[in-house]
């Protein structure tokens, strides 16, 4: 009625006491198509679960790895903008920790170079100001002397101006 198939096997047998008879075996055969369909469905579900788990795991690992790369990149960008106060940050990966250490060292060195540069400029401007002040003062004296200076005093002032100009030229060189 329900379209089940069966396997029937019959055999003639003789018992030890000499009586004979038939042995009948009847077995219902389960259709193989339903078993294959069940296994296929289970395989698809397991495959989907494994793919979702692998995707989630890959996302977590990539986020953890890229976080230190992003922090190092941001520190390098701030260094390129002249912000030398880069805080060292920890990293679980040796290579990124070494790169971060190198970046912090470079920031410290660049900060020192910038401080030395400012100091050098301040010293140079001070050293240049001294002869320029002397030249300006002597030239002002000549301009406002109202012809009260004699030729020897004028010659001395011109000599001082020339000497100061040479001194200034030597500093520039």
Condensed to tens digits (0 to 9), the pLDDT of residues 152-166 reads 888 888 888 888 888
State yes or no: pLDDT of 104 exceeds 70: yes
C-alpha 133/C-alpha 154 separation (Å) is: 18
Quote the pLDDT of residue 53.
Answer: 97
Backbone angles phi, psi at 145, to 5 degrees: -80, -15
pTM over 0.85: no
DSSP string computed for 91-153: -SSHHHHHHHHHHHHHHHHHHHHHHHHHHHHHHHHHHHHHHHHHHHHHHHHHHTSTT-S-HHH
Please report the pLDDT score of residue 146 as a whole number: 67
- Which pairing describes strands 20-29 and 5-14: parallel, antiparallel, or unpaired? antiparallel
**pLDDT of 101:** 82
Q: Give the helix, strand, coil percentages of the chain, each rounded to 5.
A: 70, 10, 20
pLDDT surpasses 60 at 108: yes
Q: What does the pLDDT read at residue 2?
A: 62
Tell me the pLDDT of the chain averaged across its residues.
85
- pLDDT score of 127 more than 90: no
Mean pLDDT of 39-57: 97
Return the number of other C-beta atoms located less than 10 Å from residue 164's C-beta. 20
Residues 16-29: what's their mean pLDDT? 89
- Distance from the Cα of residue 51 to its chain's centroid: 29
**Predicted pLDDT of residue 124:** 86
Q: Given a cut of 80, is residue 4 above it in pLDDT?
A: no
Percent of the chain past pLDDT 70, that is, above it, reads 95
Q: Report d(CA 70, CA 77) in Å as an integer.
A: 10
């Amino acid at each position: 009625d329900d379209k089940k198939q069966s396997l029937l096997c019959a055999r003639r047998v003789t018992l030890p006491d000499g009586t004979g008879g038939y042995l009948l075996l009847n077995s219902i055969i389960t259709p193989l198509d339903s078993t294959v369909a069940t296994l296929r469905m289970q395989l698809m579900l397991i495959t989907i679960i494994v793919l979702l788990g692998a995707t989630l795991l890959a996302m977590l690992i990539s986020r953890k790895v890229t976080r230190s790369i992003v922090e190092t990149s941001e520190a390098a960008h701030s260094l390129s903008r002249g912000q030398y106060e880069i805080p060292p940050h920890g990293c679980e990966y040796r290579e990124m920790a070494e790169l971060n250490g190198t970046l912090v060292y470079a920031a410290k060195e660049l900060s020192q170079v910038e401080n030395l540069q400012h100091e050098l400029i301040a010293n140079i401007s001070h050293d240049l100001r001294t002869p320029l002040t002397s030249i300006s003062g002597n030239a002002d004296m000549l301009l406002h002397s109202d012809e009260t200076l004699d030729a020897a005093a004028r010659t001395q002032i011109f000599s001082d101006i020339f000497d100061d100009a040479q001194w200034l030229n030597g500093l520039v060189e």
